[in-house]
Structure 1
Amino acid sequence: MTDSRLIDLDGFRVAIDPARERADIVLDRPPMNIISMPQRDELRRVFEALDEDARVRIIVLRAEGEHFSSGGYIKGFLDASPEHVSHLAWNIAAPARCSKPVIAANRGYTFGVGFEISLACDFRIVSETCRYALPEQKLGQIPGSGGSARLQAIVGIARTKDIVMRSRRIPGRQALDWGIATDCVPDADLEKTVDALVDELRAFSPLAQRTAKKLLNDSENATVATAIELEGHCYSRLRQSDDFREGVTAFHEKRHPAFRGT
C-alpha cells in the first residue's frame, strides 16, 4: 500500500526505484519550481515517510527543468500565519534529520528556500549552470529556513555576510571552491554524476552510514574533546554489528562485502 504522505503532493512528486534502493523527490512546478508554503509541510512529511521506507537506502532531491528552484512563493509570506512561519526552518531541516544519505542535484537558479533545503542535504552535486543565492534582502527580509546559519557553518561569517547581505549569486564552480558544493560538473553530466554517487553510497553498510551521519550532525558544534568522545561511543557500538564483522571478513577474503544493515 502506498504511503498517503507520498501522493497528491503540491508542486512535486516522489519516484521510488526498489531495485536501486533509491527514492527521488522531484520538484515539478514549471518553469521555476517555486516552493509554496503548504509544499514545505509536505516535503517534511515525505522525508519522514521515506526515512521509514525499507525499500529506500538513498534519497535524491532534484527538479524538472533548467532551474532547481527560484525560491518560495513570495506572496505566501504575507498570507501565512505567524504559527506557520515559525515551522519553516523545522520543515526545511527534514533532509538533515533523515537518517539516510540525501543528495541534492542543483542546476540553474537555486535561490532562497531552494538553496536552504539543499544546504540541509548531505551532498550537493551542482552543474556549471547552478547559481546559489539567498536574495531575501531584496524583499526587506532575511533567510528564514536555516540558510544563513548552515551557510555560515560551511563558509564562515565573512563569506556568509557577502552572500546574505548583498544577495549575491554564487556560481557552481565558486560554490565548489568555497566548500558549499560536493562536486561541480557540466550540465549534461549532472544526472549521471548523481547516479554514480547513489551506487557508490549503496555499496557501504547502511548501519555505518546512518551512524556516521548522526555522529557528524550531533558533533558539528561540539568541542573537539566532546566530538572524539561521541565518536568513540559510536565506534564501539558498530564493532558489535554484523556489518562490521562482514566488512572485516570480506577484506581478508579479498571480496566485496555483502552488508545487511545489522
Structure 2
Amino acid sequence: MNLAVIFAGGSGSRMHTKSRPKQFLEYNGKPIIIYTLELFDNHPMIDGIIVACVKDWIPFLEKMLKKFEINKVRRIVPGGDTGQDSIFKGLSAAGEISESDKDVVLIHDGVRPLITEQTITDNINKVHEEGSCITCVPATETFIVNQPDGSLEIPTRADSLIARAPQSFYLKDILSMHKRARLEGRHDFIDSCSMMHHYGYKLGKVIGPMENIKITTPTDYFVFKAMVEVHENQQIFGF
C-alpha cells in the first residue's frame, strides 16, 4: 500500500493573509490544497491519502473534497502545534489503516502543488530500492554555512542539493522515529529527512522539478499562478 500524508496544519503567517490560511487561498476558484491533493488522488499508485488540517477548517476541506471529487482521502486529522506534530498525527492515522510493514508513505506539504506524477512515481520506487526518498533540486546559488567557531564553510555548488517534498519512507520506519523523538521531547525537527538523518537512517534521493516550490510568501503565490497558466497552455496548445 502506498499512502500520502499531506500536512496543512499551519496558519501561514508569512503569507500575511487575514481571512484564511494559505493552503485555502484560491486560484480559478480552487484552493491550493486541492491542486495538491488532485496530484495524489489521480496517481494510479497511490492507495489512500491522510490530511492533517487546521482544525477549524476541516469542515470547509470536507466540502471542497466533495466539490472537486477527491476520492482517496481516507482520514482528516487536526494539525498539531508544529509541523512535526502535524506530520506525526497524519502518520499515526496512516498507521491505523496500514496493511503491511512494507507500506510506503509519502509526506508532502499541502502548499506544494507543483510536483509531477513522475516525482510521485520516483519516490515510491526509490523507497523500495533504498528504504527512503528525499525529493531534491540542484542548488542554483552558493551556500554559506556558519561553523560553531564563527568561520564559514562554502560547499561546492555541484555537491549541494535543496531538499523539498515529497519525503518518503517505509511507514513503519518513519512512524517509529517520530515516536522516539516524542519520547525524547524533541518537537523541533524541521522536516522528516532531518529526523531520519539524525537517527542514522540512510537517505535516498530523486531529483524533482525546479518549480516544486512551497507557497509561503505572496511572491510564491504569484509564481504558482504563472506556472498553472503555463501548464494549462501546454495542454491547450501543445507547447
* TM-score after normalising by structure 1: 0.27
Structure whose residues are more often strand by fraction: 2
Using CA pairs under 8 Å that are at least 6 residues apart, name the structure with larger relative contact order, 1 or 2.
2
Larger radius of gyration: 1
Structure whose residues are more often helix by fraction: 1
